[in-house]
Amino acid sequence: MKPNTKFLQGNEACVEGALYAGLRFFAGYPITPSTEIAETLSARLPQIGGKFIQMEDEIASMCAIIGASLTGHKVMTATSGPGFSLKQEALGYAVMAEIPCVVVNVQRGGPSTGNPTHVAQGDVMQARWGTHGDHAIVTLTASNHQDVFAMTVEAFNIAETYRTPVILLFDEVVGHMREKLVIPAPGEIPLVERLRTSVPGGVDYHPYLPREDGRLPMSDFGGVHRYNVTGLFHDMWGFPSDNPGVVHGLMRHLVDKIENNAGQLARYKEFELQDADTVLISYGSAARSALHVVRNRRARGEKLGLLELQTLWPFPAALVRDHCARARSVVVVEMNTGQIMREVKAAVKNPENVFLANRIDGTLITPTDIRNILRLIQGRGV
């Protein structure tokens, strides 16, 4: 077996992806079921000259990665539900100040301390709207270790390209299960590096003055330029402003830079969709059960397909609409009370044909669960 083939946990696959992407600073506070990310990085980062800090809590961890990112490093933190709640205020700061960073949430059952060692997908809407105020956010997910690796690299690339926090929304099953990962050779997946300003030291640098292509070159904080960073609405120098024109312009910029690129940010996989009259839509560990059903039922001649979403936010509405256009029924498979189902209903032409196949008891939804719901929808009974 090749030396770049590993057998490991999903949390470790995330670490491998982050290191491949160039992670150099991690601050975190351990919490099940994300702890292996911090644990592994506490050993790995010092070996390559990176920094690992266990902070006093999740709020401090989020703030620490924001500061470290400003100084020019690729940064990440990892947590689960209760910790993700604590990070929300500082996450909004990173949105407002346009700080590239990656925030991992390995989902467990909630609300509150909930069901720490069991799986859930209840934080989908928290990832979208957890921090206050109008804003846009990028959220990626994955159902297997090869994709956990790939989406982690993507998260760093998107964070740098759009100067935005990116949320990796994994779950307990994918985080803790072990399977094969083949680590790509260096250069096999392209990396996006920090876009730094060409303005020399001693010359005025405007941290929030976009280039013609809309991107904002950064200057390593504490380096040759003095500039201001704030969570208040701000002008191109980074100083607070309540000028309605400035406020409107910044709000539009923050939302449009993500939402106008929803098509480009959409990551997804298609399985057997070509002639499917029933389309399953799923993501994360639930998509493994959905794919199991699709492969099984196809072998028996049923026209079943799966659209696996890897980008949850911005929601790929156009993609979902297109793929569901010819379907007689659309079944969203997820482990919550219908958070993505509502987005799918809003995206498709015939929302009355959209159904939910879910499980909310801390157990991974099984192929049998899905099959039973399909039979009910088809009027055949369980």
Residue 87 DSSP code: H
Counting contacts by CB under 8 A, is residue 86 touching another protein? no
Reading across the β-sheet that carries 165-171, which strands appear in turn? 51-54, 23-28, 74-79, 101-107, 165-171, 138-140, 311-313
Q: What is the dihedral angle through the alpha carbons of 95, 79, 19, 163, rounded to the nearest 10 degrees? A: 0
Task: Give residue for tokens 């506490």.
Answer: 42
**Region of 174-182, 192-200, 324-332, 336-344 interacting with another protein (CB under 8 A):** 174-182
Residue 178 or 375: the one with the smaller Cβ distance to another protein is 178
Tell me which H or E stretch contains 266: none
Please report, as a single letter, which amino acid is at residue 222. G
Q: Least distance to another protein from the beta carbon of 245, Å?
A: 53
Q: Least distance to another protein from the beta carbon of 14, Å?
A: 17
Binders of another protein in range 4-23 (CB under 8 A): 5, 7
Residue 50 DSSP code: -
List for the chain the helix, strand, coil content (%; round to 5). Answer: 40, 20, 40
* Rounded Cα distance, 23 and 38, in Å: 13
Residue 206 or 295: the one with the smaller Cβ distance to another protein is 295
Counting contacts by CB under 8 A, is residue 176 touching another protein? yes
Residue 63 or 291: the one with the smaller Cβ distance to another protein is 291
* Rounded Cα distance, 326 and 276, in Å: 8
**Region of 61-69, 160-168, 274-282, 284-292 interacting with another protein (CB under 8 A):** 284-292
Phi/psi of residue 33, nearest 5 degrees: -105, 35
- Here the tokens at position 265 are 């940010």
**Region of 150-158, 236-244, 323-331, 362-370 interacting with another protein (CB under 8 A):** 362-370
Counting contacts by CB under 8 A, is residue 359 touching another protein? no
First vs last C-alpha separation in the chain: 44
Interface characters, 114-143, with another protein (x: CB under 8 A): --xx--------------------------
**Among the listed residues 136, 148, 291, 347, the single contact to another protein using CB under 8 A:** 291
**Among the listed residues 61, 80, 141, 289, the single contact to another protein using CB under 8 A:** 289
Q: Least distance to another protein from the beta carbon of 295, Å?
A: 7
Residues of this chain that bind another protein (CB under 8 A)? 1, 5, 7, 116-117, 173, 176-180, 285, 288-289, 291-292, 295, 364, 366-368
